[in-house]
């Protein structure tokens, strides 16, 4: 995805941060995982990922680490839109085996000067809840 494609997926309230979002998008690990941005706004970030054979567990379902990576990167995009943050804690629950294409949706729960908290839900292609997480970020000073 190039800068213009990313801008087309961003709402007007966050377009001024396109270069910062592009940096997070281009993290090598996320690129290797195949995580793609669907949309970005101040109140919601949506990312998707197709589970590949190398991201499956021994039973043929999505490895928990792959699902966690999708959660962490989606949350990372949202909390780093306006200022730099780093993950402090992520508590994740898994509800059903994952296959195919996954969609992660991040929403803010609370934002303060030093901590930001988000909920991220991971859905299957059928819209069923695969996992949910509460993610806390520590706001770094510029």
pLDDT digits (tens, 9 = 90+) for 2-25: 999 999 999 999 999 999 999 999
Torsion of CA 41, 21, 49, 106, to 10 degrees: -40
Q: CA neighbours within 13 Å on the CB side: how many for 120?
A: 34
What's the rounded Cα separation, in Å, for the pair 107 and 55?
25
N- to C-terminal Cα separation, the chain: 27
Residue 63 · residue 55 · CB < 8 Å: yes
* Of 37-41, 45-49, 83-87, the least confident: 83-87
CATH 2.60.120.380 for domain 3-139: no
The mean pLDDT value for 113-132 works out to: 97
**Backbone phi, then psi, for 74, in 5-degree steps?**
-65, -45
Give residue 141's pLDDT: 80
Q: Three-state DSSP class for 27?
A: coil
**pTM for this one?**
0.95
What's the rounded Cα separation, in Å, for the pair 75 and 97?
21
**Backbone phi, then psi, for 92, in 5-degree steps?**
-120, 145
pLDDT digits (tens, 9 = 90+) for 49-72: 999 999 999 999 999 999 999 999
Tell me: pLDDT of 142 over 90: no
Q: Three-state DSSP class for 126?
A: coil
Give residue 100's pLDDT: 96
Domain limits, the chain:
3-139
């Amino acid at each position: 995805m190039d800068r213009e494609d990313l801008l087309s997926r961003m709402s007007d309230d966050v377009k001024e941060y396109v270069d910062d979002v592009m940096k997070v998008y281009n993290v090598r690990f996320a690129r290797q995982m195949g995580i793609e941005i669907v949309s970005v706004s101040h109140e919601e970030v949506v990312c998707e990922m197709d589970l590949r054979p190398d991201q499956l567990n021994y039973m043929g379902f999505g490895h928990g680490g792959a699902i966690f990576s999708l959660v962490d990167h989606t949350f990372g995009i949202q909390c780093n839109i306006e200022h730099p943050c780093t993950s402090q804690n992520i508590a994740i629950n898994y509800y059903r085996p994952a296959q195919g294409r996954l969609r992660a949706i991040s929403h803010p729960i609370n934002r303060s000067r030093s901590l930001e908290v988000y909920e991220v839900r991971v859905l299957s292609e059928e819209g069923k809840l695969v996992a949910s997480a509460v993610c806390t970020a520590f706001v770094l000073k510029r």
